[in-house]
Amino acid sequence: MSFFDKVYSEIGEYTRVEDAEEEVCELYSVYYSSNGSSRLDLVDPSKTELTVELTGGTKTLTLTIAQNPNINNELGQTGAVLWNSSIITSEYLARRSTHGWDFSTINAIELGSGCGLVSIAMHQLGARRVVATDQARMMKLLTRNTDCNRVVQLNRNRKPPTVLLATEYVWGRAPEDPRVLAEPVDMVVISDCVYHESVAPLLVRSLVDVCKSRSDVPVVVLVGQELRSDIVHAAFVAELLEHFDVYRVPVMPSVDTNYVLYAMWLRGSHSPEHTH
């Protein structure tokens, strides 16, 4: 069973999204009626280093994540500090690792990795290969975090070593680093990357490009997003629906009012022969 087959077998738990305006109306009717103090926002933007404990898997993962508050204060720069939404995405993946998602078979790419928490979490959960990507100005911080949290592999059982690497990937362009698509991709992850509707077309273009790089089995895309602007979210969902079959995934009641997670794959990429 491929990774896509496993995710698709859980489709009964998901909600199909077919119209951006209807989706936003449903999400934000709950969001605006909920307690505004429950917003996710930043973990602690004043610190240059954070210790993060991720629960939900077979064991608690303790990670050290560096931040750069100075970059985050610059216009348009939001990825240099850690957001709670990244913790929610990471802990969701940890829970799925105990419910049949075999990370040891997965080659994953994260777009807009920021501090790299989600990529590091996938690596620590045993993913075969993880490529964390972001803009050039984020590479120093992202590389520092991936280097500091890389699993030490003794390789006593002669398994191929797992891979965690960080590299630049500019949305809307083909990746310049050949390592990004050097192996068939199973999953693309995005965590809280859309703060303005202008970035949605570029991000979705890159999503489509990565997914089209593989034809034998659909590539699963997971998108986690904190609910902020309904206008921005509507634009993003509309752009996704142009190319993908989109499903909303329940995470947990305590965060479903201000955070949403989508699973998706390219339209037309799923057919009966893909399910074994």
- pLDDT digit string, tens, across residues 155-188: 556 677 899 999 999 999 999 999 999 999 999 9
Q: Is 132 exposed, middle or buried (0-12, 13-18, 19+ CB in 10 A)?
A: buried
Which pLDDT score, from 0 to 100, does residue 43 have? Answer: 81
Specify the pLDDT at position 57.
Answer: 86
pLDDT score for 276: 45
Write the CA distances from 246 to 98, 220, 227, 260, 265, integer angstroms: 24, 10, 17, 12, 7
Q: What is the pLDDT of residue 164?
A: 97
Least Cα distance to 134 among 85, 170, 178 occurs for: 170
SS3 133: strand
b/e per residue, 230-268, with b = 16+ CB within 10 A? eebbbbbbbbbbebbbbbbbebeeebbbbbbbbbbbbee
The pTM is what?
Answer: 0.92
Q: Please give the structure tokens belonging to residue 145.
A: 């975090």
- Contact between 40 and 258 under an 8 Å Cβ cutoff? The reply is yes
Q: What is the pLDDT of residue 39?
A: 60
- As given in the structure block, the two tokens for residue 210 are 């990565």
Q: How far is the CA of 93 from the CAs of 38, 90, 260, in angstroms?
A: 22, 5, 14
Task: Please state, in angstroms and as integers, the Cα–Cα distance from residue 72 to each residue in 138, 149, 158, 203, following that order.
Answer: 10, 22, 42, 20
pLDDT at 270: 77
Confidence (pLDDT) at 139 = 96
The strand pair at 187-191 and 107-111 is best described as parallel
pLDDT of residue 77: 54
**pLDDT on residue 124:** 95
How does pLDDT run along the chain (276 residues), one tens digit per residue?
899 999 999 999 999 999 999 999 999 988 777 655 456 567 888 899 999 999 888 889 999 999 987 765 554 556 688 999 999 999 999 999 999 999 999 999 999 999 999 999 999 999 999 999 999 999 999 999 999 999 876 655 667 789 999 999 999 999 999 999 999 999 999 999 998 999 999 999 999 999 999 999 999 999 999 998 999 999 999 999 999 999 999 998 888 888 999 999 999 887 654 544
Inter-residue contact 120 to 108 (CB < 8 Å): no
Q: Does domain 3-274 have CATH number 3.40.50.150?
A: yes
Environment class of 272 (CB within 10 Å of its CB; exposed 0-12, middle 13-18, buried 19+): exposed
